[in-house]
Amino acid sequence: MIRTLRFWILTLISFSIIGILTSSLFSSYLVTKDSLIDNSLEQNLVYSKKLAEMSEELFSSMQLNLEGRKADIIKLLDNPTELTIVLNQLIVTSKNFNSVSVIDKNGLAIATSPNVGIAGTVIQSEGVKEALDKKENIITKPYMAATGRLLVLVSTPLFNEQNEYLGMLNGTIYLEEDNFIRNILAEHYSKDGSYVYVVDHSGTLIYHPDEKRIGEIVKSNEIVESLIRGDSGASITENTKGDLYVAGYTLIEASRWGVVSQTPYASSIEPLAGIIWKIFLYALPFIVLFLVVAFVLSTKLASPLQKLAKYTMDPQFNRNELEIPTWYFEAKQLTETVENYRKKQEETVEDFKTQSLTDPLTGLKNRRFAEYLYSHLIESKNNFSMIMVDIDFFKKVNDEFGHNAGDEVLQFLAYRMNRVTREEDYIIRLGGEEFAIVMPNTLLEEAYRIAEILRKDIESTLPPTNKAITISSGVGEYKYKAEAISSFMDRIDQALYKAKSNGRNQTIISKYSK
C-alpha cells in the first residue's frame, strides 16, 4: 500500500505532538516530584523545629521550677513532713513532672511526691548516681528506676550558703506513662502516615507512637547518627524496618535529645499522578484542535503534488487547470506550524516552571526560587541585603483561630511586605511562617530601616483575626566574595533567633566579621 504525502505529514505531526507532549509531561513530572519532596522535607523540618522549640521551652520551665524552690527545700531538709508538703505544691505547679523527690548527698531519699515508696531508702539507680557525681543541673538518659519504671531524671543540685553540697532536687518523667513529651508529640499534624519520635544523645527512643519501642536503641539509623553528632536537617531515609521516609530532624539543645518528624515517601508524592493527569487534560483540547488544523493544512499542502502526480499519470490532463505553488512556500508553512506548536508547549512548560517557583498560598516566591536568586546575585557579583522575618507565636494563631485563619494571617503579612518593599526587592516564603526579603544593591542601614517600617506596620495593623500580631526580624548585608552564602544565611538566621530569644517584636542586625 502506497502512503500519500498527507499521511506522512500527519504522521510526522502526530509524532511531534506525542514527543513534545511526552517531554512536557516528563519534565513536569520531574519538576513537580522534586517540588513535592522538597515541600515535604521543609514541612517536616519546620515541624520538628517547632516541636524542639516547644520542648526546649518546657525543659527551661522545668529547670526554673526546680531552681525556684531550692531555697525552701534547703531550709526543710531536716523536716521530711514539711518537705513533702512543698514537693506536693511543686508537682502541682510544674505540671510536667510525673514525680518529684529530694535526695541527700549520700543517695538517701528524704521525701517524694507522690509517695512512690522510696522515701527513707538509699537510691542506687544509674540516674541518681550520675546526678550525685556531677553535682550540676542535668537531664539523664533513660534508665530503670528502683520503682520499676523507665524514666528520665531532671535534677538540680542543692548547696548551702557555705557552698557545701547537700544533695539534689529531682523531677522525673515516666517514659511509658502519660507525660509532657507524649502530650506534645502524640498526634502528627498530617494524617498521611506521618509520625514523630524522640531519641536521646545515646540513640535511645524516648518517645515513639509504638509504646513497645520506647527504650529501644536505634543509633544505627542514619538520622539518629546525625542527631548524636549534634546536627539538624532534613533528608530522605529508611527507617529500621526498611521503609522509605521523608524526614526532618532537630536537636533540643537543653537535653541533647533529637526530635524527628517523618512522612512516608509514597505519601509525599501521592498527589503527583493527579497533577500530571490534570496537566494532560488541560493540554488535550489544544492537541485535538491542532490535529484538526493539521488535517486541513496537510490536505492543502498535498494538493499541488497530488495534482502534479495525476498530471504525470494522465497525459490528457488540462495543464491550464493545474496551479502548483512553489515547494518552499509549502515547506515554510509546515515549519511555521510545527514551530508555533513547539513554542506553545514551551510556554506551557515555562508556566509549570513558574508555578513550581511560586508559593501557592501567598503568591510569593518559594525556597526553590531563592536558590536560583542567590546563584544569580552571586554570578552577577552584586552585593545585597536580606531581612529574615518570622511571625511571633504563630502556633497560637493556629491553635486559637484554626489553620484557615493562620493562612489568612500569612497572606496578610505577604500583603504588608509588598506594601513596604520596593519594586526591585524579592519577597520569598521560606516555609511555615518564615519569610525573607532580598534587597539587591542595598546597604545594611537601608535594609534595617525597611525592616523596622515593616515591624511597626505589622504591630499597628490588625490582621484578619482582629488580634494583633508581631514579627521578629534578622537583617544582614552580603558582600561579594566576603563570605559563603551558607554562612551569610546562618548568621541572618542567628540574628532572627536572637530577636525571638530577646523577647520578640524586634529587629536584630547581623554584621559580618572576619
- Please give the grid coordinates belonging to residue 140: 539523664
Question: 377-416: buried (b, 16+ CB within 10 Å) or exposed (e) per residue?
Answer: beeeeebbbbbbbbbbebeebbeebeeebbebbbbbbbeb
The answer to whether the CB of 152 falls within 8 A of the CB of 142 is yes
Placement of cell 508559593 in the chain = 359
Identified catalytic residue from 42, 56, 330, 433? 433
Q: What is the amino acid identity at position 282?
A: Y
Residues 6 or more apart in contact with residue 94 via CB below 8 angstroms = 61, 62, 65, 100, 171
The candidate with the shortest Cα–Cα distance to 295, out of 15, 2, 18, 13, is 13
The answer to whether the CB of 50 falls within 8 A of the CB of 42 is no
The candidate with the shortest Cα–Cα distance to 478, out of 367, 378, 388, is 378
| Cis peptide bond N-terminal to 114, omega within 30 | yes
Return left, alpha or beta for 511; rule: phi > 0 is left, psi -120 to 50 is alpha, else beta.
beta
Beta strands at 165-174 and 150-159: parallel, antiparallel or unpaired: antiparallel
- Please give the grid coordinates belonging to residue 371: 536558590
* Number of C-beta neighbours around residue 78 at 10 A: 8
- Please give the grid coordinates belonging to residue 83: 518537705
Q: In 357-402, which residue ranges form alpha helices assigned H by DSSP?
A: 367-379, 394-401
d(C-alpha 35, C-alpha 119), whole Å: 58
The answer to whether the CB of 157 falls within 8 A of the CB of 136 is yes
d(C-alpha 435, C-alpha 431), whole Å: 7
Q: What is the amino acid identity at position 299?
A: T
Active site residue 176: no
- Calculate the alpha carbon distances from 299 to 292, 294, 332, 337 in Å: 11, 8, 15, 14
* Number of C-beta neighbours around residue 300 at 10 A: 12
Q: At what angle do helices 80-94 and 5-68 cross, to 10 degrees?
A: 150
Residues belonging to the active site: 433
